[in-house]
Amino acid sequence: MTQPNTVSKPLPEADETSQPFYDGAMQGRLMLMKCDACATVRLPSRQHCDNCLSTDYTYEQASGRGTVRTFGVMHQRYHPGFELPYNVAIVELEEGPRITTNIVGIEPDKVAVDMPVVVEWERHEDVALPKFRPA
């Protein structure tokens, strides 16, 4: 029933803050920011720490392990690049941050809350995306 997919998904590109994240992704490394002042780990979406507002940070490689915080199974067509249905999930990384992603290598209806998962890179020509599969 599904039509051949000719439109691709919207693929992100790095901005200044997230450049090391996307560079790491191309090398299969999940890079997070760690605040030098309070040690809070965050996704690299801003230059300052959202816990203490410090602008000092260091990039550290995450383990790539986490658990499914929650997920949904999308049946509504919002964008022609996605074949329905698909799961959309929030994974809580072992280091604390939560990342929006998809769980791969599993039927949508087999995904479960709190399921342990591990990162798997979805590679495109100039960007790699962190997806997660059951650990």
Partner 1 sequence: MPNPLRGAAAITGLGMTPMGRIYGKSTMELAADAVRTAIADAGLQKDQVDGLLINAGITGSTGGGLTLGLQNYLGMRNLKLLNHMNAAGSTAAQMVQYATMAIAAGMATHVVCVFADNPLKEGSSSGAAYGSAARSPSRPKGMAGLYAAAGYFGANTPYALAARRHMAVYGTTQDQLGAIAVAQRAWATKNPLAQMRDPMTLDDYHSSRWIIEPLHLLDCCLVSNGAVAVIVSPASVAKDMAQPPVYIHGMGQGHPGDPARAGGDWETETGGQIAAKTVYAMAGVGPSDVTVAELYDCYTYTVLVTLEDYGFCKKGEGGPFVEDGKLGPGGSLPTNTGGGELSGYYMWGMTPLSEAIIQGRGQGGDRQAPDNDVILCTGNGGSLSYHAALILSPHAN
**Which residues contribute to the site for partner 1 (CB under 8 A)?**
9-15, 17-18, 21, 40-45, 50, 69-76, 78-79, 82, 85-86, 88-90, 92, 96-102, 112-114, 129-130
CA distances from 78 to 61, 70, 83, 99 (A): 33, 20, 10, 21
CB of 69 vs partner 1, minimal distance in Å: 7
**Nearer CB in complex with partner 1: 74/118:** 74
CB of 97 vs partner 1, minimal distance in Å: 5
**Nearer CB in complex with partner 1: 11/135:** 11
**Nearer CB in complex with partner 1: 118/129:** 129
CB of 31 vs partner 1, minimal distance in Å: 11
Q: Side-chain half-sphere of 108: how many Cα atoms within 13 Å? A: 13
CB of 70 vs partner 1, minimal distance in Å: 4
Order across the sheet with 57-61: list the strands.
41-42, 31-35, 57-61
Q: Are the beta carbons of 41 and 95 closer than 8 angstroms?
A: yes
Cis-peptide into 85, omega within 30 deg: yes
Structure tokens belonging to residue 102: 């998809």
